[in-house]
Copies of this chain bind each other. A is one copy, B any other.
Amino acid sequence: MMKNHKETPGFAWFWEALDLYLERHKLKQTQQRKIIVDFFLRINSHVDAEELHRRIRAEGHDIGLATIYRTLNLLMDAGIVEERSFQDGRSVFEVASPDGHHDHLVCTECGLVIEFENEGIEEMQRAVAKQYSINLKTHRLDLFGTCMDEKSCLERREKKIRG
């Protein structure tokens, strides 16, 4: 059973939601899915499909990139993963927060992503939409800048280059 995973503490709800989704849709629990989800949760930050694939292969698992994409899409269908596109072309994926929407601060130097919520901004967005006669459904707010802490920023950048 997928329920007997040993990794990714704190994400029991995620595994349970996945189990439920698979069961309801008569889908199967495979080794590949288990591994992909495990790695995804352990990284637990905004990863793209190829990065995830690379890390999984790096530990000796022979899983195809297509399967990574298929699994991420399945997790999105299950509503427990969300897709974002910060820099053009590449999508990154994150665990969906069950308690609502958040926006992102992205460091353009080191790639650090910080999630934040700000009710004040959201309220002003609703006002703007109303002003222009639009029924606001969703929004996307990304703030781009650079880390004030240059030391840790540089470290992250180097770590990324080294792979």
Contact A143 B125 (CB under 8 A): yes
Q: Is A10 an interface residue (CB 8 A)?
A: no
Please tell me which stretch of A21-29, A32-40, A46-54, A115-123 contacts chain B, meaning at least 4 of its Cβ atoms lie within 8 angstroms of it: A115-123
A71 to B1, CA, bound (A): 56
Q: Please state the number of chain copies in the assembly.
A: 2
Q: Is A137 an interface residue (CB 8 A)?
A: yes
Nearest B residue to A116 via CB reads B128
* Chain B residues, Cβ within 8 Å of A144: 136-140
- The minimal Cβ–Cβ distance linking A157 to chain B, given in whole angstroms, is 15
A interface bracket (residues with beta carbon within 8 Å of B): 20 to 34
Question: Given A105-B128, A118-B128, 11 more contacts at CB 8 Å?
Answer: A85-B88, A105-B129, A105-B132, A107-B134, A124-B124, A125-B141, A129-B145, A133-B147, A135-B147, A137-B144, A138-B144
Instruction: List 8 A-B pairs, Cβ < 8 Å.
Output: A105-B132, A114-B132, A121-B128, A124-B124, A133-B149, A134-B148, A136-B144, A138-B145
